[in-house]
Structures are given as structure tokens and as C-alpha cells.
Structure 1
Amino acid sequence: MLDINDRENVPLLSKALFLDITAAGKKRIAVGEHGHILISQDGRNWQKTDVPADITLTAVYFQNDMNGWAAGHDAVILRTTDGGRHWRQVYSAPEEEMPLLDIWFADNQYGIAIGAYGLYLVTKDGGETWQRQKMNIVNADSNTDDPDDLTEFYELHLNNIAYSNSGKLYIVAEAGRLYRSDDLGTIWQELPSPYIGSFFGVLPLENESLLVYGLRGHLYRSDDAGNNWVEIETHTRELLTDGFQLRDGRIILTGMGGVLLISDDHGVSFKINELGQRHGYAAIKETGKDEIITVGDYGIETWTKQQLGLADD
């Protein structure tokens, strides 16, 4: 085990780059550079796993406490069926030089992985095989399906994919592109965008509400599944990277420069919380009753709600 407070583990746990964190049952799983996948039962003691890829991993997703997938550079995809203790490589395409940036599964069989330059992969057998496809996009601006008119869509970096409780799937991309699918990815509609800069995350909320966020502190809210948008003041120009809604309904967004944005009104407004350091946060997850984990360029950090200014009243 690697104790987060043990000085011998500081180079890995507090200096290595980690890019995503998730929970699978009682386990916490973090992924990052050099193929690092760490597992913890308590958020403080971490165990290295045997990974068949020495390459940066950018995303991890678990469908349940046993079945999970990780994705990263060289379009590599890893699969585990034992809760993350062992991993197998099921896909890679290093010759294309297209990193995967996110991965999502609807169930134990159907999944989508997205990445740079429009990379879009689909599996229907639990990730054992993957097919590269073009997003079937309905261009809301020109209402055309002419491939020549849609070339630019297929060259964009697809940064984040997320599923809403209302059954809609969202993808955010560079150049202000936003997409929604009402049928789990068979057809995508380009949504009207309030911003021409890159979006790095989308956080679906209750009903048809969602948040999108990205460069220079830009944050927008929609209450009608992405058809109309309102800008939210963030009081920062830092890049916003990830978001999570806590069990109590409060929302946290992470960013570069040690920025955390906190909402007590279900994402209508946010206050900024700077923790006194310049850590770049890549991802955040609530992993216990009073445990929140962030990962980024300073490794893995485990917080209580009080430490983040979220103590219950």
C-alpha cells in the first residue's frame, strides 16, 4: 500500500500527474501519466495496479464495482472485470497519434470513447472490440448533411462526454462546439453555442438543466437541454476542467491555478474558493460521506468538506 502521508510515496502521490478519478463501489480509482492506475479503499492508502501500458491515461469509467475501462494516449483502451486489480489492453492505434480524452458506457456492453481530431469509437461487446465511426451530426446551423460542409466537425477535439438523468447524452468540444444525442449516440445534434472558445466539461443536472465550462473561466447554464444558455459569473479567468454534484446538491467545479467554484443553489450562481496554492486540478469526485478527492498536476489529494469550505451548517 502507498500511504498518502508517507514521504517515500510523495513522488508518485503528490508529484505525478493524474488526470481522472472515479469510484467503483467502495474503491477509488485514479489514472494518470506513465500508465499509473492507483486503487484505494479509504482515499489515503493507495495500491498500484499492474497495467499493460506505459502511457498517459486521461479517463476512467466504471459501470459497476467490477467492470471498468480506462483510456488515454495512442488511443489506448484498457479493460478490467475484477474491480481494477488487473487490466487488459483491448484497443490502441499509436500510428494515428490521436489521444482519447474521455470514455463512457451505457451498460456493460455499449460504450463510446472520444478524443482528439474527432476520434469517436464505439463498442457493443463490453469493450472487447471497437469500431471507429464518424459522429452522425445534424448540423443545426446549416441544416445539411453534406459531408463537405461537415468536414470541420470531424476534425475537432472532443473533450468530454456525459449522460443526463433525463436520458440525453452530451459531448463538448473545442471551438465552442456542443452536441446532444437523444438516442445514446446514434444521432447527434449540434446545439447553439454561447461561446467560440473550447469547452472542456459538461455537467448534467436535474431535469433538463446542465452546465458547460472551459477556457478563461467561462461557465454557462441551460435549463432546456442546451437550446438556450445563460452565462454565470465565475470571478476567475482560469481554465475550468471538471465538475461534480455532491449528494447534498451542492456543486463543485475545478480549475487550473488552485481554483474551486462552489454553488449552493444547484448551479444558478457560484462563489470562488482559492485554497492558497496553485495546483492545477484535472478532476474531482465525492467518494465518501465526508471525502472529496481531487487529482491533477500535484497528484492525488483527499479533502474533507470542511477543508474545502463545504462543512454542513
Structure 2
Amino acid sequence: MIQETRFSQRRPRSGLRMLVTGLALAISVAAHGFENPQDVTAVQSAQVARSPLIAVTTAGQRLVAVGLRGMIVTSDDGGATWTQAAVPVGSDLVGVSFPTPNQGWAVGHGGVVLHSEDGGLHWTRQLEGRQAADLAVKYFKAQRAANPEADGLLGREQSLIDAGGTQPFLDVLFDSETSGFVVGAFNRIYRTGDGGKTWVPWMDRVDNPREFHLYSITNVAGQLYLTGEQGMVWKLDRARERFVGIQTPYNGTLFGMVGAGADDLLVFGMRGSLFRGSAGGTRWERIDTGSPASIVGGALLPGGRIVLANQAGGVSVSGDRGKVFSPVKASVPMPYFGITALGGDRVGLVGSEGVRVESIR
């Protein structure tokens, strides 16, 4: 069973993420008229830890969760109490990564990229969609002579700008204080090697000619992977600096990935879809989850057990590297949007009713 850590309060990945945040924006516009979320600060709320939150991670021993309207909360006591961070934007935030206890990044709608130097207590904006689009246009114009893909990418980039939207980033991964990626809709992917001071478009370095959305980026045993639409997985070929496409047996959306031992992967997504495969993508088998609910997050516990969370409030665990999963009962279930492993048998879960810390028994 799951034992929940109760808390007092001090003050969707994916198509799911787009749906949740889109509904929130529609309600806000109808009630108040439009304000660009990139140009307003996040509102302080006494109920922030019980508001919809989309992604959660650890910054050393601290928990950090991000969600709608620029909400970010932190906890230093294992989820007993939560503090709202100071955030310069009101954009919906859907991904967060801390390579060290102090240095962290969060991403979201409007193409925003936020940076924290104090473990998630305060944030500054490093990039937003209008700047990202401008970077891409300049980059591909400069690449025309040497890169045969540049003209096509430039045209598609300009068409996205002309359509009037800034494209959302849906996930972020930093493996050090300087090196990281942000990924998102329509094959959006940017890399930095200097901690976000500068960003380089990598749209020409992904085998993704149909510009499928990129929903996650994950480090598994030192290898970087993307997951996206139409059952696609991409693995970074470090020698070529290119993400090489891997087709799974599934043709729907894959929201994420978790390692399943040294040589195996688990990819998960819509309608309870779960596949276990080799690190090279040459072998895949479908794993029955017993539920049609979309799987939105996976976590590898320190002892090797794998925990999955789904949109219907279900949690399941495997003790055999992802071959068989069994449901476990949550104390107070909610529709989940994300999960992270903590110490021992604990996980952090975020969803429609905020953030919780629970123990997997």
C-alpha cells in the first residue's frame, strides 16, 4: 500500500499538459481579459500546494514542484510544509530540472525558460518564445550555405511565427550546471553549454521530419532519450551530435521514459500504453498495466523498484525491472501529472490537487 505524508501549508506532460493549461487559460481570459502570462508575475496564493501542479523533482534534499500560472513550491521537510517561490512569469510551467542542489531550470508555455540559483526559492527568466523564435530564424539563415536542411527549417520556423504563437517547451534536462536541453512542441529543441546564457537551436539535429511534438527528455544510464508523438523515441548519438529516431510498436503519444535496469527502458503514454525495450531500441514488448488510463510519469526507486502514475489516480509498482506491475492503493488519490523518486521508498506526486509525498510499501 501507499502511506501518505500529510502536510500543512505555510503560504500535464504532454497532450495532457496542453489540455490542462489550455483550459486554465480559457477560464482566465473569459474572467479577466487577456494578459500575456510572460509579462506578469505569478500570483501568491495560500492554496498553492493544493493547486494543479504538473512536474516535480528534487534539488538536493529539497522538493520543487511547478504548475499552472507560474506556481512553484518548495519543501525542506519531506513535504510536511511548502513555500511558494518568487516567479517572474504567470505562464503555465510543465517541466523542471535541478542538476545540483542550487542550480535549476523550469520550462513551460510561451516558450519560457526560468533559472534558479538558490534551490528554487527565486527565479529569473532566461528565455521566452519570442526570443527563441528569433534565435531560430537567425540560426537557420546563417546555416543556409552549409546545411541542406536549413531552408526547410527556416520556412517552417517562419510559418510558426506568422501563425502568431510562441511554441511551448514541455520538458527540460540539465546534466550539469552548464549543459542542458529544453524540448517542446513542433520539434522544438534548444541546447545550452553555458548554463542558459546562450541557446543553440537543435531542430536540425533530430530525425523528425514531420515535426512531431517532443514531450520528454530523459537520461537513462548516461544516455539521452526523447519521447514524442506516433510512438517515437530518439537517442542521442553523441559522436554525431544528433538524436536518432527509434520506432516503437506503438503509434500513439509517448509521454515519458524511465530506466529499467542497465540495458532496458520503459516508455509510457496514452491509454495505459507501456513498452519495455532494449537501450538500442531493437527489442520491444508491450507490458499490461491493467488500466486504460494514460501513464504520465515513472520513477526508479533507489532499491530498483519502478513506480508509475497515471491520469486516473492510479499508482503501480514493479519489482522485476518492469516486467510485471501491480497496483498499489494511494491514501488520497488524485489525477496525477508527474512523479519523482525520493529517498528510500518515498515518491513525490503532483496532480490536479497539488503535491503529495507518499511511501510505497
- Counterpart AA for 1:151: P
User: Are residue 230 (structure 1) and residue 265 (structure 2) matched?
Assistant: no
What's 1:13 paired with? 49
Distance 2:223 2:61 in 1: 27
What's 2:111 paired with? 75
Distance verdict in 2 for CA 1:277–1:125, change over 3 Å: same
Distance 1:55 1:75 in 2: 9
What's 2:63 paired with? 28
- Counterpart AA for 1:134: M
- Counterpart AA for 1:203: V
Partner of 1:247, secondary structure, is coil
Kindly indicate whether the alpha-carbon contact (under 8 Å) linking 1:255 and 1:280 is maintained by their aligned counterparts in 2. yes
What's 2:344 paired with? 289
Kindly indicate whether the alpha-carbon contact (under 8 Å) linking 2:129 and 2:168 is maintained by their aligned counterparts in 1. no
Kindly indicate whether the alpha-carbon contact (under 8 Å) linking 1:120 and 1:135 is maintained by their aligned counterparts in 2. no
Q: Which deviations, in whole Å up to 9, do the C-alpha atoms of 1:38-86 show, x marking residues without a partner?
A: 1111112111111111111101100111111011110100111122222
Partner of 2:342, secondary structure, is strand
The structure carrying a bigger strand percent of its residues is 1
TM-score normalised to structure 1 length: 0.86
Q: Which deviations, in whole Å up to 9, do the C-alpha atoms of 1:124-159 show, x marking residues without a partner?
A: 110122222314245xxxxxxxxxxx631xx21100
- Aligned pair count? 289
What's 1:146 paired with? none
User: Are residue 187 (structure 1) and residue 242 (structure 2) matched?
Assistant: yes
What's 1:266 paired with? 321
Gaps of 5+ in 1: 139-149
Distance 1:194 1:236 in 2: 19
What's 2:187 paired with? 118
Tell me how far 1:274 sits from its aligned partner. 4.6
Partner of 2:308, secondary structure, is strand
Distance 1:268 1:185 in 2: 33
Partner of 1:234, secondary structure, is coil
Tell me how far 1:235 sits from its aligned partner. 0.4
User: Are residue 101 (structure 1) and residue 157 (structure 2) matched?
Assistant: no
Alignment of 1:31-70 (within 5 A): 31-42=66-77, 43-70=79-106
- Counterpart AA for 1:280: P
Q: Which deviations, in whole Å up to 9, do the C-alpha atoms of 1:225-255 show, x marking residues without a partner?
A: 3221011111000000010011111110110
- Counterpart AA for 2:216: N
What's 2:201 paired with? 132
Distance verdict in 2 for CA 1:10–1:253, change over 3 Å: farther
Query: Which of residues 303, 306, 329 is equivalent to 1:248?
Result: 303
Kindly indicate whether the alpha-carbon contact (under 8 Å) linking 1:254 and 1:261 is maintained by their aligned counterparts in 2. yes
Q: Which deviations, in whole Å up to 9, do the C-alpha atoms of 1:105-138 show, x marking residues without a partner?
A: 1321121100011111111110122222314245
Distance 2:171 2:331 in 1: 30
What's 2:18 paired with? none
What's 2:214 paired with? 158
Distance verdict in 2 for CA 1:263–1:177, change over 3 Å: same
Distance 1:184 1:172 in 2: 20
Which is further off, 219-228 or 172-181? 219-228
Q: Which runs of 4+ in 1 moved over 4 A?
A: 6-10
Distance 1:162 1:184 in 2: 18
Partner of 1:191, secondary structure, is strand
- Counterpart AA for 1:237: P
Kindly indicate whether the alpha-carbon contact (under 8 Å) linking 1:123 and 1:129 is maintained by their aligned counterparts in 2. yes
Distance verdict in 2 for CA 1:169–1:290, change over 3 Å: closer
Distance verdict in 2 for CA 1:29–1:224, change over 3 Å: closer
Distance 1:128 1:192 in 2: 34
Kindly indicate whether the alpha-carbon contact (under 8 Å) linking 1:282 and 1:296 is maintained by their aligned counterparts in 2. yes
Q: Which deviations, in whole Å up to 9, do the C-alpha atoms of 1:196-218 show, x marking residues without a partner?
A: 01100111232221000101101
Kindly indicate whether the alpha-carbon contact (under 8 Å) linking 2:253 and 2:269 is maintained by their aligned counterparts in 1. yes
Kindly indicate whether the alpha-carbon contact (under 8 Å) linking 2:172 and 2:183 is maintained by their aligned counterparts in 1. yes
TM-score normalised to structure 2 length: 0.75
Identity of aligned residues (%): 30
The structure carrying a bigger helix percent of its residues is 2
Gaps of 5+ in 2: 1-5, 12-44, 131-163
- Counterpart AA for 2:339: I
Distance verdict in 2 for CA 1:107–1:276, change over 3 Å: closer
Distance 2:289 2:240 in 1: 31
Kindly indicate whether the alpha-carbon contact (under 8 Å) linking 2:10 and 2:83 is maintained by their aligned counterparts in 1. no
Q: CA RMSD in A?
A: 2.1
- Counterpart AA for 2:209: T
Kindly indicate whether the alpha-carbon contact (under 8 Å) linking 1:110 and 1:123 is maintained by their aligned counterparts in 2. yes
Distance 2:181 2:215 in 1: 13
Distance verdict in 2 for CA 1:118–1:184, change over 3 Å: farther
Q: Which deviations, in whole Å up to 9, do the C-alpha atoms of 1:21-54 show, x marking residues without a partner?
A: 1111111111111111111111121111111111
